[in-house]
Amino acid sequence: MNKINSIVDSAAKKIFNALDKQQSIIRTTPLYGVSKSFFVSSLIKTNNQIVVLLPDIKSVDEFSVELNILGLSDYILSINEFKAESLQEKLTEIINRKKFILISTYELLLNEFPTKDKIDQKTTRVQIGGELSYSEIIEYLNLLNYQKDKFVEAPVNIRSAAL
């Protein structure tokens, strides 16, 4: 695997050098099979944000597995559901990360996304020592249709309201 990594790293360096020299044409052969995963593993060493768009959900899932095997699980963000609530959740996750590999289908390009300022404006942050009072938190949770229970069996992920 080290030999393959060095070959991919070498190819990636050639592409980066061509980009640095601002060459107008860069020729490369299409990447097939796991060569895409090795190339992305090389790219993440020098780039903080990588977006990979694939033709279908099956390809997204397979690509995620390949990157996990290469030890990149901490960087992977996969979008395979395009509902507003799910997209907002992923956008919040993207905003909070400095380094990531976003993997999705081409369908992602058909969605309209809010600006970072709008997300920040519509997101309520709850933290220890924060400025929200108990009554404000209860009011916020009521707006999100959360129900009050006396006994909680398991933790639940609290999601931001949809934009």
Instruction: Give the global pTM.
Output: 0.61
Q: Say how far apart CA 121 and CA 123 lie, in whole Å.
A: 6
Specify the pLDDT at position 4: 60
Specify the pLDDT at position 114: 72
The count of structural domains within the chain is 1
CA-CA distances (angstroms) from residue 40 to 32, 82, 91, 113?
13, 24, 21, 25
20 is a domain residue: yes
Of 75, 71, 70, 69, the closest CA to residue 52 belongs to 75
49 is a domain residue: yes
121 is a domain residue: no
103 is a domain residue: yes
115 is a domain residue: no
147 is a domain residue: no
16 is a domain residue: yes
Reading the chain (163 residues) residue by residue, the pLDDT tens digits are 566 666 666 766 766 666 666 555 556 667 777 788 888 888 888 888 888 888 999 999 999 999 999 999 999 999 988 887 788 788 888 888 899 999 999 998 888 777 778 777 777 777 777 777 888 888 878 877 777 777 767 766 555 444 4
User: Residues with Cβ < 8 Å from 17, sequence gap 6 or more?
Assistant: none
> Residue 88 sits in which domain range?
2-110
Q: What angle do CA 86, 87, 91 make, to 5 degrees?
A: 120
Collapsed DSSP state (helix, strand, coil) of residue 78: strand
Residue type, 157: N
120 is a domain residue: no
Q: Say how far apart CA 47 and CA 50 lie, in whole Å.
A: 7
